[in-house]
Structure 1
Amino acid sequence: MKPFQLTYTAKAPSLLREALGDWGISKRTLASVKYGGGQILVNDAEVTVRHPLKKGDAVTVIFPIEEHGKGLSAEDGDLEIVYEDEALLIVEKPPLQNTIPSREHPFGSLANIVAKHFNDHGIPSTLHIATRLDRDTSGLVCIAKNRHIHHMISLQQQEKKMKRRYEALVHGTVEKDAFTITAPIGRKNASIIEREVREDGQFAETEVRVIEKLEGYSHVTLQLNTGRTHQIRVHLAHIGHPLLGDDLYGGKRDLIGRQALHCTELELIHPVSGDSLFFRSSLNRDMQSLV
């Protein structure tokens, strides 16, 4: 199993520690390299972070091999891969599948199946799922193949450089064609699962655009500008248009047996190459039949 590694070229004289920070290597990642079996090489020679760099020096960071957590078993299962390289894995998650194992569903999650994929292909990483989806929600999921790559993607999310767009079917006729929901979200009192809009919650923002107004419900597209738990579900219920099938937040299951939400688009900057990546996913059959 070959460890993940990245090579950079020094553009100007500096201390190695400063250059690593400029390249996005966090202190936590640096500590894991230092104490977890990784290496830092300059022109193929192992050095410390106090090493002075000259312009043109080749810096190679060899990341330690990661192990799956004890609670994550590798399982056979269908895995629909949209894109894969040494740093990223983009997959389609079907509805009615957990992203990670839970007490109620300890087996058969996307994470269990990806763990098997990593084992089979000698990928030296535990699971770093950067964009989780609820069990009922289908669509695109982004997985990092290394702790450092996960950190770089998290920075993109914080800086709003990663875009996630969804399509949903909601109860009622949404009157405005385009608008933004800005409402803080927090955990509902006496519930470990349910969230609600509340003054002391975390800032949350969702952009909404109507695709089509149908009989008794509307087909909308949504863009997340923040990533709060159950954000889309809570925001849509808050404005009186809960998702079809989302009985936790006021939706009915007469037309569909799960919340009608699908992650259709994922846009990000590749954390290694810097290239712009864009992925598009079609609606699942159950939602497609309603539109």
Structure 2
Amino acid sequence: MQAELGPGAISGVNVQTQAGFMLPVQGSPASKPARVRINYDGQRFTPAIATITPGAVIFEITNTGPRRGSLLLTNWPPEIVAMPVKPALEFEPYLSGGMLLTRQTFRRLFRSERVDEEEGLGVRQVTFLFTDLKGSTALYERLGDLNAYALVRQHFALLDAVAHRHAGAIVKTIGDAVMAAFSRPADAIAAAIDTLQEIGRFNREHGGPAIILKIGAHCGPSIAVTLNENIDYFGQTVNIAARVQSFADAGEICLTEALYTAPGVRELLATRDIVEFDAPLRGVEGSARVYRLIG
């Protein structure tokens, strides 16, 4: 493996066995990549050198132990090296399978990857965002099929860019509607708000027929499968998200209580006008609390 090292120190640790090493990174930068050979015998690392110069470094790790292992490398800056007590390392959560499925880049690059339809892949937490174009029938009548479809495609591209920007993915389009998936609830709400702002900007810049969206969202467990060569989702969470969208009016976002109380969501909506109401949701006994974001 190759890395670009700055002055300070480089440490390595096997996260399974906690075996580790540390080498100073000091001196004048080398003119060409330095090679650092390190042996791992299953219990300890043995570097072939005692210090490394800053710049490009190629690590050659030889594992002579009985099992495979992993190596985490950290390049410590001088100010951290000088501290008698080192600060705790903090890492973003690892990339789970559920998070990977909601990444637009993964869905585009690995379209051939399949999730067996007969089994499916259980995803513990996913947030679904449904959008629908209000007045689409009148739009087609007013502009004609070709012009209206061109406008709809522009709005699809806009939603695709917003979803990607907020770590989500467009799962599919259903007529003029869009279904998107997000791993984190707060990302879905940020995307919903951003979508309405982008649609408003689009309408102002084009000065033509307005695109008016209605948005609904819900979070919970789901089943992921490959259907029609694309990864799709099924289950009660999807059904409820679609149902909640039907309660939204022009330029509004409706979300369930499960989503409203999810981490980070209420903070995003702290300065927004929220109207609460109870509504029947298909498949849910009794009425459910729905939160409508207006304005």
Structure with the largest fraction of helix:
2
Same fold at TM > 0.5? no
From the CA coordinates, give the structure whose radius of gyration is larger: 2
Give the TM-score taking structure 1 as reference length: 0.28
Structure with the largest fraction of strand:
2
